[in-house]
Amino acid sequence: MIKIGLLHTTIRGDEKLIIEAARKKSIKIKLIDVREEIFNRKTYQCNFDVALQRCVSTVKGNNATHFFESIGIKVINNSSVAAICEDKFVTSLALQKANIPTPDFAMVFNSTQAVKAIKKMGGFPVVIKPPLGSWGRLLAKINDIDALEAILEHKDVLGSPQQKSFYIQQYIKKAGRDIRAFVIDGQTICAIYRDSLHWITNTARGGVTSNCPVTREIADISKKASDAVGDGILSTDIFETNDGLQINEINHTTEFKNSEKPTKTSISGAILDYCVKVVKNL
């Protein structure tokens, strides 16, 4: 019988749904709170077939992923997918390289270059975000040079070394919503709209979810995005523009607990089915 090792830190509603779906499907799950583990290759006893990485902590999740890969256990998502998706700059590079529509972007290390970069991408407004962030935190919409100077000076003087790299993205005017598509093994299984009066539409910031029919365009761009980062269990953030869809970012430890009801889709079940498929193909 297949046994999945569920790597986790805090068990969120999402992991509870996975555990419940496994019970219904009679799939064995071994819960592995990585905070309680000793990752020593010489002493570790591994008794599961595949690891599903669901840690809230990116750093702990990455360490655990590298450990299990080093002892020959497949981790979903694997470390190379994680390395691209966890960093918005690296994701943007991968998307643009693969000719997938994505907002224009640049990385700069000082405010003089920031001003030049913004001119080249068509002027204000732009969005500055931490490449390693999530939940819509620390995003800044910059409407003019005064705001730009203030934000960059704050980051430069008060920020950690990481915050001294400035990832700048063209601001895309949205009609009060964006799209989140759930993409497993390249296939979009369902999607939601995230509506918000605020330009930041994350559900963690009050965005309201509803079902978004999966159009051919959504499925096509999501498949390309999935291919560009190496496949697995992903979700794409998509903007609707007058020139068609654009991928904003790709998530590799995606939260989905608010999306099963509106889409009437068992995302947790599909995640498990994919893990089983991976084990069967080993």
Ligand X SMILES: Nc1ncnc2c1ncn2[C@@H]1O[C@H](COP(=O)(O)OP(=O)(O)O)[C@@H](O)[C@H]1O
Interface ranges with Mg ion (CB under 5 A): 237
Residue 249 near ligand X by CB under 6 A: yes
**Residue 140 in tokens:** 């800044």
Residue 128 near ligand X by CB under 6 A: no
Contact 4, 281 (CB under 8 A): no
**Residue 235 in tokens:** 């979700």
Query: Binding partner of residue 151 among Mg ion, ligand X, none, CB under 5 to 8 Å per kind?
Result: none
Residue/partner pairs of 141-150 with CB below 8 Å, 24 or more apart: 141/171, 141/199, 145/115, 148/111, 148/114, 148/115, 148/118, 148/124, 149/111
Report the DSSP pairing between strands 177-184 and 244-251.
unpaired
CB count, 10 Å around CB of 215? 14
Query: Closest approach of Cβ 132 to ligand X, in Å?
Result: 9
For 156, the 3-state DSSP assignment is: helix
Binding-site member from 2, 19, 115, 139 for ligand X (CB under 6 A): 139
Query: Closest approach of Cβ 252 to Mg ion, in Å?
Result: 12
Q: 255, 154, 245: which is closest to 205 by C-alpha?
A: 255
Residue 202 near ligand X by CB under 6 A: yes
Query: Closest approach of Cβ 200 to ligand X, in Å?
Result: 4
Query: Binding partner of residue 257 among ligand X, Mg ion, none, CB under 5 to 8 Å per kind?
Result: none
Query: Binding partner of residue 201 among Mg ion, ligand X, none, CB under 5 to 8 Å per kind?
Result: ligand X
Rounded to 10 deg, the angle between the 145-158 and 111-120 helix axes is 140
- Looking at the DSSP assignment, which residues form a beta bridge with residue 32? 7
CB count, 10 Å around CB of 271? 24
Per CB under 6 A, the segment of 135-143, 144-152, 155-163, 254-262 that binds ligand X is: 135-143
Residue 171 near ligand X by CB under 6 A: yes
CA-based max dimension of the chain: 61
Residue 200 near ligand X by CB under 6 A: yes
Binders of ligand X among 101-120, rule CB under 6 A?
A: 103
Binding-site member from 172, 208, 219, 276 for ligand X (CB under 6 A): 172
Q: Which is nearer to ligand X, 25 or 137 (CB)?
A: 137
Binding-site member from 53, 65, 91, 169 for ligand X (CB under 6 A): 169
Helices (DSSP H) in 194-255: which residue ranges?
A: 216-229
Residue 232 near ligand X by CB under 6 A: no
**Residue 225 in tokens:** 């995005």
Q: Which is nearer to ligand X, 12 or 174 (CB)?
A: 174
Residue 248 near ligand X by CB under 6 A: yes
Query: Closest approach of Cβ 58 to ligand X, in Å?
Result: 11
Owner of token pair 């889409």: 263
Contact 171, 148 (CB under 8 A): no
Q: Which is nearer to ligand X, 172 or 279 (CB)?
A: 172
Residues that bind ligand X (CB under 6 A): 103, 127, 129, 133-136, 139, 169, 171-172, 174, 178, 199-202, 237, 248-249
